[in-house]
Amino acid sequence: MTMQLTHSVSLTPPADKARARASAAAAGIRTEPKLVRIAVITLAVLFLTVFVVLPLVVVFAQAFSKGIAAYLAALSEPEAQSAIRLTLLVAAISVGLNLLFGVIAAWAIAKFEFNGKTFLISLIDLPFSVSPVISGLVFVLLFGAQGYWGAWLREHDIQILFAVPGIVLATTFVTFPFVARALIPLMQEQGTQEEEAAISLGASGLQTFFRVTLPNIKWGVLYGVLLCNARAMGEFGAVSVVSGHIRGETNTMPLFVEILYNEYQFVAAFGIASLLAMLALVTLVIKAILERHLDEGQP
């Protein structure tokens, strides 16, 4: 046997043998030929560059196209300032509301068994899959001049549409799922054992919630709030429908971008846009950090 082996191996010149082996080894089991690899990477990088990186770069390039002074001047316009203030206000209210009810909803879904749970989860998801324009439309149908409650509201001189309450409602609608969605899987995974242990040790319901449940889900809560906030500040379609575009009063930052853009005030438009783009980038960085914490929390 050994004789035979030596014989047949020596028949192949060493250089050829090395080359054959190298090529066999290179045709690895779980990878593709080098040319294919390079082509796939190039295509992926090119596509992401054209469709994602360049638009992002354009925002900043346009914002600073007339220099930093013009940029800062555009941002310090009173109307710009009021748009920024309104955006912060609306985001604060709707994030606050959705935080509160998102935690409660997730808690109810994750820790209790009841009929129609799947249906309830689907309902919570609904605003994700509805066009933002439709989200705005439903509020116009309720509160608008021809809406169900329009006449009553006018009689009592309550302004919802084309005013801050309408914007808050529409924003709350479109950001409804974020907190609950971030928490449901997390809380389901954690189960109810720790809560049961706490209660068996004599903790009250509220003590259990604040001392056991909340610390376990804090990163999930932050994660949900972060995404909720990004969407709340950036929402355009729904807010556009309910706002009425009253300058200095019902313009959030995204709406103000549209107005400035349509008036060919490009530096100002992209100036505000650049603030929103930075918000998006900061959100992504914090998201990456939170994801690391969430991963660590897992067994």
Partner 1 sequence: MSIEVRNLIKRFGSFTALDGVDLKVENGELLALLGPSGSGKTTLLRIIAGLDWPDEGEVAFNGEDALARGARERNVGFVFQHYALFRHMTVFENVAFGLRVQPRAVRKNEAGIRARVKELLDLVQLDWLADHYPNQLSGGQRQRIALARALAIEPRILLLDEPFGALDAKVRKELRKWLRSLHREINLTSIFVTHDQEEALEVANRLVVMDKGRIEQIGSPGDIYDNPASAFVHGFIGESIVLPVEVAEGSVRFGGSLLNIAPDGAACGASKLFVRRHEMAVGPSGSGVFEGTVHHVRSFGPVQRAEVALAGGEVIEIDAPRGKELHAGDTVGLQPRRYRIFAA
Partner 2 sequence: MGLTLTWLSVIVLIPLAGLFLRTLELSPEQFWSILSSRRTLNALRISFGLAFAAACVNLVMGTIIVWALVRYRFPGRRLFDAIVDVPFALPTAVAGVALTALFAEKGWLGAPLAELGVKVAFTPIGIFVAMVFIGIPFVVRTVQPVLLDLDPEIEEAAACLGANRWHTIVRVILPSLTPALLTGLALAFARAVGEYGSVIFIAGNLPNVSEIAPLLIVIRLSEFRYADATAIAVVMLVVSFVIIFAVNRLQRWARSRIPAD
Q: Which residues bind partner 1 (CB under 8 A)?
A: 1-2, 4-5, 7-9, 12, 17, 20-21, 24-25, 27, 29
Give 10 or 159: the residue with its C-beta nearer to partner 2.
159
Query: Considering only CA atoms, which of 295, 121, 107 is closest in space to residue 191?
Result: 107
Q: How far is the CB of 12 from partner 1 (least distance, A)?
A: 7
Q: How far is the CB of 69 from partner 2 (least distance, A)?
A: 21
Q: How far is the CB of 42 from partner 2 (least distance, A)?
A: 9
Number of other CB atoms surrounding residue 277 within 10 Å: 19
Q: Which does 32 bind (CB under 5 to 8 A by kind): partner 1, partner 2, none?
A: partner 2
Q: Which does 12 bind (CB under 5 to 8 A by kind): partner 2, partner 1, none?
A: partner 1
Q: Which does 151 bind (CB under 5 to 8 A by kind): partner 2, partner 1, none?
A: none
Written as one letter, the residue type at 285 is V
Q: How far is the CB of 54 from partner 1 (least distance, A)?
A: 38
The half-sphere exposure of 40 on its side-chain side, counting CA atoms within 13 A, is: 7
And the tokens for 279? 């918000």
The sign of the CA dihedral 221, 227, 231, 232 is positive
Q: How far is the CB of 6 from partner 2 (least distance, A)?
A: 28
Give 224 or 254: the residue with its C-beta nearer to partner 2.
254
Q: Which does 2 bind (CB under 5 to 8 A by kind): partner 2, partner 1, none?
A: partner 1
Give 198 or 232: the residue with its C-beta nearer to partner 2.
232
Give 5 or 35: the residue with its C-beta nearer to partner 1.
5
Query: Considering only CA atoms, which of 248, 240, 232 is closest in space to residue 140?
Result: 240
Give 147 or 248: the residue with its C-beta nearer to partner 2.
147
Give 22 or 72: the residue with its C-beta nearer to partner 1.
22
Q: How far is the CB of 108 from partner 2 (least distance, A)?
A: 5
Q: Which residues contact 124 (CB under 8 A, 6 or more apart)?
A: 105, 176, 177, 180, 181
